[in-house]
């Protein structure tokens, strides 16, 4: 059974989360004794697609239809289904992103497949099974699930797998056309809100996130978050109460009912750490909490904690971060 990996693009490049999915897919292909093919949609540089060979991809199918520059679930599903049919793919791999989740569920219905999201392990194929481990209950537990359908669809949890690099390897890039009709774009959004900072860092893809809560006391003090983020090359985020108070736009809200992030470093400033907020950040590799309340729940989930007033601590961090760039 061949393996098909859907890769997402951003500003012409492949998203890091999709590079992780490509690395995962190529390892699954090795387990199954087959090859991994990627499918790309929209505006992605062909040079970036060819470099997927470094992640073990042998071939990339690319649909460059201009209408696909904006995400439309039905159209994307049709393209990926066409690629799966062309390659006789029985295993499909996605990043567990908003796009991956939307497309994966629709494809599971269309292809009559088994779907596992938030996957954290390579499959166990002993005895003809296909068992993967996935995070459940907002990352508080794990479940082993056996995908029994002929078509198996896997959405890989961000930051669960390293990006493999086989220097110099390249993938062949082939054009793909799914013969899309206007009806496939009937559900196209009228407006898209980009969840990025002024520096162009997309929040769900950020390697470093600096987030602020009500401990900053008001929007007039948000420059502390922005200045630290700029010094670190990070995206900015906020807690739900901050967005509810209109201190920050809702697309910066991180948590169970907002954006889920998985950065290498998450810095929380003046955030108490309610369970709803933790659900959106607990996939971060390192969590740093700054809070003057030593009993703040967030400290229990933190890798590093600073008990202190943000108005004293953060300016010193900004100064130290700027000094590193000199």
Predicted confidence (pLDDT) per residue in 48-63, tens digit:
999 999 999 999 999 9
| pTM: predicted TM-score of the whole model, two decimal places | 0.85
pLDDT surpassing 70 at residue 193 = no
Q: Quote the pLDDT of residue 42.
A: 86
Domain boundaries, the chain: 2-185, 203-323
| Rounded-to-integer distance, Cα 259 and Cα 50, Å | 31
pLDDT surpassing 50 at residue 197 = no
Q: Quote the pLDDT of residue 202.
A: 78
Q: Quote the pLDDT of residue 98.
A: 86
Of 173, 4, 184, 180, residue with least CA distance to 85: 4
As a whole number, mean pLDDT of residues 187-206 equals 64
299 — pLDDT class (breaks 50, 70, 90)? very high
CATH architecture of 203-323: 3-Layer(aba) Sandwich (3.40)
Host H or E run for residue 166: none
Q: State how far the alpha carbon of 39 is from the alpha carbons of 54, 86, 309, in Å.
A: 16, 11, 49
Host H or E run for residue 160: none
| Burial profile 88-104: b = 16 or more Cβ within 10 angstroms, e = fewer | ebbbbbbbbbebbbbbb
Fold observed for domain 2-185: Rossmann fold (3.40.50)
Query: Alpha helix locations (H) across the chain?
Result: 16-32, 46-50, 73-87, 98-110, 223-232, 240-244, 275-278, 310-324
Of 269, 278, 267, residue with least CA distance to 300: 278
203-323 and 2-185 share a CATH fold? yes
């Amino acid at each position: 059974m061949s393996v098909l990996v859907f890769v997402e693009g951003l500003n012409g490049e492949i998203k890091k989360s999709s590079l992780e999915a490509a690395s995962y897919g190529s390892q699954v292909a090795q387990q199954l004794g087959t090859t991994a093919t990627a499918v790309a949609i929209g505006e992605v540089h062909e040079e970036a697609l060819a470099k997927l060979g470094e992640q073990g991809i042998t071939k990339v199918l690319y649909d460059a239809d201009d209408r696909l520059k904006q995400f439309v679930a039905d159209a994307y599903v049709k393209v990926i289904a066409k690629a799966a049919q062309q390659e006789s793919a029985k295993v499909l791999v996605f990043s567990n992103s908003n796009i991956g989740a939307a497309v994966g569920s629709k494809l599971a219905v269309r292809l009559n497949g088994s779907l596992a999201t938030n996957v954290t392990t390579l499959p166990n194929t002993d005895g003809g099974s296909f068992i993967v481990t996935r995070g459940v209950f907002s990352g508080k537990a794990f479940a082993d699930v056996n995908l029994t359908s002929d078509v198996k669809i896997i959405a890989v949890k961000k930051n669960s797998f390293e990006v493999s690099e086989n220097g110099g390897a390249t993938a062949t890039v082939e054009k793909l056309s799914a013969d899309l009709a206007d009806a496939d774009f009937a559900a196209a959004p009228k407006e898209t809100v980009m969840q990025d900072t002024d520096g162009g860092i997309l929040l769900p893809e950020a390697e470093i996130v600096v987030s602020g809560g009500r401990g900053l006391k008001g929007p007039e003090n948000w420059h502390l978050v922005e200045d630290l983020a700029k010094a670190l090359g990070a995206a900015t985020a906020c807690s739900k109460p901050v967005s509810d108070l209109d201190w920050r736009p809702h697309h910066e809200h991180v948590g169970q009912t907002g954006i889920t992030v998985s950065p290498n470093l998450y810095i929380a400033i003046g955030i108490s750490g309610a369970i709803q907020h933790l659900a959106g950040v607990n996939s971060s590799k390192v969590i740093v909490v700054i809070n003057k309340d030593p009993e703040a729940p967030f400290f229990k989930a933190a890798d590093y904690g600073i008990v202190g007033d943000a108005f004293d601590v953060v300016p010193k961090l900004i100064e130290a971060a700027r000094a590193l760039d000199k």
